[in-house]
Structure formats: structure tokens, C-alpha cells
Structure 1
Amino acid sequence: MTYRPAVASDLEPAAPLTLGVEEEYLLLDARTGESLPVADQVLTALSGAARDQSRQEFRHSMVEMVTPVTVELAELRGHLVALRRSAGDAAEAAGARLVAVGATPVHERHRTVPDEPRYHAMSRRFGPVAHDPAVCGCHVHVGVADRELAVQVCNHLRPWLPVIQAITANSPLHDGRDTGHASWRSMQLERWPSIGPTPHFDSAADYDATVAELIDAGVMLDAAMVYWYARPSAAYPTVEIRVGDVCPGVDDAVLVAGLVRALVATLAEEARAGRPAPRIRDCLVSAAHWRAAHDGLEGDLIDLRAGVARPAWDLVGDLVEEVAPALTRHGDLDYVRDQLARLRRDGNGATRQRRVMARTDNDVRAVLDHLAAETRAG
């Protein structure tokens, strides 16, 4: 099935798409690097806008901060800087430090869930999986009010999301050691039955029917447990991209948001024009995501359009070429190019962590010092 627009002429200029970002952070002991169960104290210490934009998460050692809806990347950056600083100050007051890292790097002793009925239900249903060490993601919301279009955009996103995953990879450590994966968070999340690449759907009705079947089968508690890498948001008129690790630095996160918005804008035009999304076998999409989680930007990625492995940075270049008109329309092209040049020089989060490990004789505390400083910089 191809999407057909209900309104608007192709001659009308495309309005800038709105953006919002949700970031999850860990609360770590500055001395040992272990996760600290002080989220309640941190959330209580927040005030004003920061309190309103905070969320309780699935672990006592995590907090989530949510930006307001915005259009300009510069404004988004300002929100992220302010939220990280507010949460960081509250963490320090609680005896912890705020760290933007994708997976628990050392150890988490306290893995009980917060005292919320839904969290207890998830714990009962999924058992030990629900008590894995904490993981932290970056979720980017892009305004797409038409739900039928949102489903088609998710279909078109399938070949490109491994590239976004590789850019954001920021969790090479587990239990104080390098896992060999750029994103260990991605590996942990594979244990959940409702997380992974978004399936291809013919329509919004097909999407809804499939979700209902999965709920009936006990795979999900409810529609909010659709944790696929891209989805029509259950709460907002957006397409939500949730494939990425939380980024270590603010500019990393803003870069990803800019690329994701341009990608959604570009693919929405494809869908409106009636061009069908490529049908790619689910096993190949899963393989591409595994390769992205393993290699990050330092090796090869699978080009799902051609079915071959290619250098990661070649695919990043293809992505930028694909979305350059949308980046230009949104006024983001120069910023994105500058930040990608920085990323190519300095590496993504996983690469930067490994470089600190290499020059400090595998001192994990030095890595966490580095991450904490990046988290608060801006």
C-alpha cells in the first residue's frame, strides 16, 4: 500500500518540522563508578522548568529529562544544556554525578524497580530481563501529525536507522571492561521481546492490529510497550526514533536530532509521492543493527539498499547526501557538516571512551571522569 496525501499541494513550501528530545542519564558514584539509587532525591531537588521536564525512569539510578518542543537546533541545544546542568547540580547534591552513557559501565547493586504499578507488572511479566543493569537512550521526536504518514515514514526509515545507531554508539563498557561492542546497550535490549527493528506495516490499521495481537499474546503489557527503533509515538503527534544510545555531549545529541529530522522530512516526501519503502528481510535489518552496535563508526556497516558491507563513514556520507535538501530547508546543513567533521576527527562516544582507556592503562574511573565532564559541558 502507498500513502496518498489527503490535503495540501506539492507546490506549498514545507513547514519546518518540530523537534523534541528525551535523554536518559545514569547516576554514578564518583569514586567507584557504580550506579547509585538516588533518583528520587535528584528529582525532588529539581525546581521550575527542570522539574516539569523531568521523568521517573525504570531504575532508581536513572533520570530522564525532556526538552520542550522546538524548531531551531540552537534552541534545542540551549534546552539540553540547561536540563543537563540542572540535573547535574541535583545529582551532586544527592552525592552522585550525572553521566550520559548508554549502559551501566561498572556495576549496579540495586536493581529493584520504582514503586509504580506498571513497573511492578513489567517486573512480574519479564522477570530477570526487567532487572538487567540500567541502559540509557536518546529518543528524538519529529512532528508528523498524520498517523498514516507516520507509519509509512517508519517503513522508509528501516535502511537508515543502523547509521543513526552507529553515530550514537556510546556504551562499550560493561562490568568495568570493554565488551568489544560500541553499543552494549543495544545488546542488552535484545533480551526484551518488544524491542528491535520496526517491522514493515501496510497501514496504520495494520500497525494497530499487530500491536493488539502482541498485547493479546502477552509480549507487551500495552501499546506503550512498543519499543521498536522507530514508531508513531503513543503520546504525541510525532515519529519517535529511539535507536540511539544517549549521547555524551550536547552537540552530539543536537547533531543526531538534526539528522533525524532531515531524514523524517525527506522520507515523508517519499511517502507522500507514493514511492514505496524498500522491502528488506527482517533478518538482514537485524544483522545491520548488530553490525552497527558492534562496529559503531570505526568499521563497516551493512548498506541495506545494496546488501553489502561498506565503510561506516561512506554510509554517513550517503545519509547526508540523501537529506541535504531537508537540512538546507531547516537551516541545519552547515551545523551538521561541522559536527560530523568533529565526530570524524574525535570519534563518537564509544571511540572517545576507548581512547581514554588506551591512554590511562584501562582506568575506568578516568573514562567516567571524562564522560561526566562531557555531560555537563556546553
Structure 2
Amino acid sequence: MTTEVRLPGAQATPVVAAPAAPVPVLTMGVEEEFLLLEPETGRTAPAAEEVQARVAGASGARLVRELTRFQIESNTLVHTDQATLRSDLLELRLAAATAASASGVGLAACGTALIGNTGEPPLSRCTRYRHIAREFRAVIRGQGVCGCHVHIGIGDHEEAVQVINHARPWLPVLLALTSNSPICDAYDTGYSSWRTMLIARWPSAEPPPFFHSAGHYESLVSGLRASGAILDRGMIYWLIRLSDHVPTLEFRCADVCATAEEAVLLAVLVRALAATALRDVRAGVAAPQVDQTLLRAALWRAARDGLDGHGLDLFTGDRVPAWRLVRRLVERVRPGLAATGDLRMVAGALETVRRRGSGAARQRAAYQRRSHLPDVARLLVEQTVSRAGEARRAPQR
């Protein structure tokens, strides 16, 4: 039995009820980093300690401080179902936004600060962060940026590094889909994800290399530590890495998503990508050995154009419309989406993004109307806590 599902810009395609090979159903969890800003100006507001102190109960334990005092991070529970993940993300966003409002500031899901983050940021009260600032010097300037990290439950390190090899060519597509940082320091950068360009200044902030084994992974980590390019394992900033504190594979390429619905879309696609790759690893399918230089070039193009331009197809070497690569990603991860029953949800969420534009496109449209940063700040604060139905009804920009 098959069901037809139409992807944005594509012909109707059948969902096969029984995939040819079993695909594991993996767990997923999400970390989201948020900015605190003055809603009337869009300027960063160093109020993280006060905001965190206002959040009581279970949610409070899952809201933690970040590098700067104008950021806060949320951590979901572990989920196997996208509906419960969505509820968890909304609960955490609403708790943080309510506390922020009570502190006189706004919570904004945005990859870069609109204004107020040009020099060394006000660091959180953390010895480690201050050590990082001393060691890496001017790199710390402007680094109050916000990403979305998706954790996928794969505990075996040998399998996990092979999944990285299979997944790394798709990082530019995931970045384009989540691009949400076009404006920085009161300036339209011309990029969809300026956050990507800022974090690239860190020595290890790059796509992961092709790993021959878990031992190879560890030897590179040892070399980074010996050089001083990282101070500890928490500074492994590869865009996919093994988590050091939980048995997961952590995808780190995305800007923080503008809405919870878009964060769920990202998490579900990442899980399906990892699950499909894990199936292939267990079947002995070799990973594509995509050149690191071309992968970096594809990430640059994705950061520049987002969904509104072109991307580099790493399998053909052609520059093609970004949405064509999104459709190719969905086809690649179809077995994983079918295993969890998420294909219809993904098709609907992608259609919503296509209709409304990416987070970057919506920011840029709000700014271009009057070149007025508070317009963008209001959009960001409203989107951060919007629910799925509200997001779908929002006017096209």
C-alpha cells in the first residue's frame, strides 16, 4: 500500500509503507540558543541571570546560561515522537519568553544580534568562558551567536563516526533550510546565515573531516588539544561531533530556528538522515568521500544564499537552486521518514517554509520595509513563541 505526498515544487511521490531494509528509530533531543534583547530597539540585553532566576520548576532546570549574558539556552528531553518534541520546545520557549518579559526584555530566536555585539561581549560568570576569551583573544569579539544543535541517539562510536561520513555532504542543505541570521550590527550582511561566517573564526569550527575510524576521530581531537586549538572536548566545534556527555551524535550546523515548528522540521530531518545512514553503515554501504574543500565551499554558498538562491550539489559538482537540494535531501532520508511516519509532516512543514520564506528571508523583508531594526526585533520575539497554527496563518512577507 502506498500514500502520495507532494513535496514543495515536486510531483507527487509515493510513500512506501514497507522500506526495503529496516531503518532504526532513533531518539532525538534539541538544544536551542536564544538572544535577549530590548524589544523597542533590538539591542542586546545582558539579563540572562535575571531571566534564568525567574524560571521555576522543571523548565528552569533545562534553561542554562550561554557564553554571553545576553544569551540563554534550552535543552529538551529525549524524544522519539515529533509531536512530543514540539510540545517540549514550545514549553521551554514560552517559559523563557515569559521570564524575559517579566525582566523587561524579549526572547528572540535569531542567529546573530541585530545590534549591540560588536566588541568583546559581556561574558557569563564562568571561569571556562573567561579562559577561552584569554586564549583566543579577538576571536571572541562578536561571538554572541545562536545555533540549534540536534542530538541523535547513537551510542556506538564506530558506527557514529561512519554516520558522520554519510551525513556530512548534506550539512549545506540543512544550513540553507535553517538560515536565520542576515542582520548583524544594524547591517544587512547580504548573507542568509552570517552566524556561520562568524563561528568559522574558531579553529575547529568547520565541517567534520572524513573519519577512517573512531580511533582516527580521537587522534584528531588529541592533535587539536596539543596545538591549543581547543582547550577541552567541549570546544570541538565540528558541525557534527560525538557528544562527550551523552551517548549521541550532535549536529551543529544550523542557526537557531525562528519557530518551534521549524526546529521540529530540522530535528526530524536530521534524525531521518542519521537513521538512513546508520542502516547503510550496517549494510556495508561505503560513504561518499566528499572533498573537504568543496564541502566548505558548499557551506559558504548555503550561508550566503540560504533558500533564496543556489547551492552546490556535491554529488554532481553543479550549482543548482537551493530548493532542488532540499528535495534531494528528502529523497535521501525517505527511508528514515517512512520508518517514523514523519514524511507527511515534513512535506507540510517544507511547504510552509516555502510559502512564508526562511527565517532569514522574513527578517530581511521586515527590515527592508522601513530599514527599522525594531520592526525586526518585534518579528523575532513574536515568532519565537508562535505555535504551528499561528505560524501557518502569518502573512507572506
What residue number does 2:393 align with? none
Instruction: Report how far residue 171 of structure 1 moved.
Output: 0.3
Instruction: Report how far residue 357 of structure 1 moved.
Output: 2.3
Instruction: Report how far residue 112 of structure 1 moved.
Output: 2.8
Q: Hey, what's the Cα distance between the residues in 1 that align with 2:226 and 2:248?
A: 26
Q: 2:281 aligns with which of 263, 267, 271?
A: 271
**For residues 217-228 of structure 1, what are the structure 2 equivalents within 5 Å?**
217-228=227-238
Q: 2:148 aligns with which of 131, 138, 152?
A: 138
Q: Hey, what's the Cα distance between the residues in 1 that align with 2:335 and 2:131?
A: 46
TM-score normalised to structure 2 length: 0.90
Q: 2:110 aligns with which of 82, 86, 101?
A: 101
What residue number does 2:11 align with? none
What residue number does 1:315 align with? 325
What residue number does 1:75 align with? 84
What residue number does 2:199 align with? 189
> Any idea what the Cα deviations from partners look like across 1:7-26, whole Å, max 9, x if unmatched?
xxx99954421010000000
Aligned residues of 1:112 and 1:131 also touching (Cα < 8 A): no
What residue number does 1:3 align with? none
> Any idea what the Cα deviations from partners look like across 1:109-151, whole Å, max 9, x if unmatched?
7713222221111011101212324100000011111111111
Q: Does 1:36 align with 2:63?
A: no
What residue number does 1:355 align with? 365
Moved over 3 A (4+): 10-15
Q: How many residues align?
A: 368
**For residues 337-376 of structure 1, what are the structure 2 equivalents within 5 Å?**
337-358=347-368, 360-376=369-385
Cα distance, 1:243–1:196 mapped onto 2, change above 3 Å: same
Give unpaired runs (5+ residues) of structure 2.
1-18, 388-397
Q: Hey, what's the Cα distance between the residues in 2 that align with 1:311 and 1:376?
A: 31
> Any idea what the Cα deviations from partners look like across 1:257-293, whole Å, max 9, x if unmatched?
1111000001111111112211122111100000000
Q: Hey, what's the Cα distance between the residues in 2 that align with 1:337 and 1:158?
A: 23
Q: Hey, what's the Cα distance between the residues in 2 that align with 1:323 and 1:104?
A: 33
Q: Hey, what's the Cα distance between the residues in 2 that align with 1:131 and 1:179?
A: 17
C-alpha RMSD over aligned residues: 1.5
Aligned residues of 2:114 and 2:185 also touching (Cα < 8 A): yes
**For residues 1-378 of structure 1, what are the structure 2 equivalents within 5 Å?**
13-108=22-117, 111-358=121-368, 360-378=369-387
Aligned residues of 1:107 and 1:133 also touching (Cα < 8 A): no
Greater CA drift, 106-115 or 322-331: 106-115
Aligned residues of 1:87 and 1:98 also touching (Cα < 8 A): yes
Q: Hey, what's the Cα distance between the residues in 1 that align with 2:120 and 2:324?
A: 42
Aligned residues of 2:177 and 2:358 also touching (Cα < 8 A): yes
Q: Hey, what's the Cα distance between the residues in 1 that align with 2:142 and 2:322?
A: 30
Q: Which amino acid aligns with 1:54?
A: L
Q: Hey, what's the Cα distance between the residues in 2 that align with 1:122 and 1:53?
A: 24
Instruction: Report how far residue 354 of structure 1 moved.
Output: 1.5
Q: Which amino acid aligns with 1:333?
A: L
Q: Which amino acid aligns with 2:146?
A: C
Aligned residues of 2:67 and 2:124 also touching (Cα < 8 A): yes
Q: Which amino acid aligns with 1:77?
A: R
Q: Hey, what's the Cα distance between the residues in 2 that align with 1:199 and 1:12?
A: 28
TM-score normalised to structure 1 length: 0.95
Q: Which amino acid aligns with 2:287?
A: A
Aligned residues of 2:43 and 2:115 also touching (Cα < 8 A): yes
Q: Hey, what's the Cα distance between the residues in 2 that align with 1:156 and 1:55?
A: 32
Aligned residues of 2:22 and 2:279 also touching (Cα < 8 A): no
Aligned residues of 1:159 and 1:304 also touching (Cα < 8 A): yes
Q: Which amino acid aligns with 1:224?
A: G
Q: Hey, what's the Cα distance between the residues in 2 that align with 1:206 and 1:168?
A: 30
Q: Hey, what's the Cα distance between the residues in 2 that align with 1:224 and 1:317?
A: 33
Identity of aligned residues (%): 43
Cα distance, 1:259–1:12 mapped onto 2, change above 3 Å: closer
SS of the equivalent of 2:217 reads: helix
Q: Which amino acid aligns with 1:236?
A: V
Cα distance, 1:205–1:41 mapped onto 2, change above 3 Å: same
Cα distance, 1:291–1:124 mapped onto 2, change above 3 Å: same
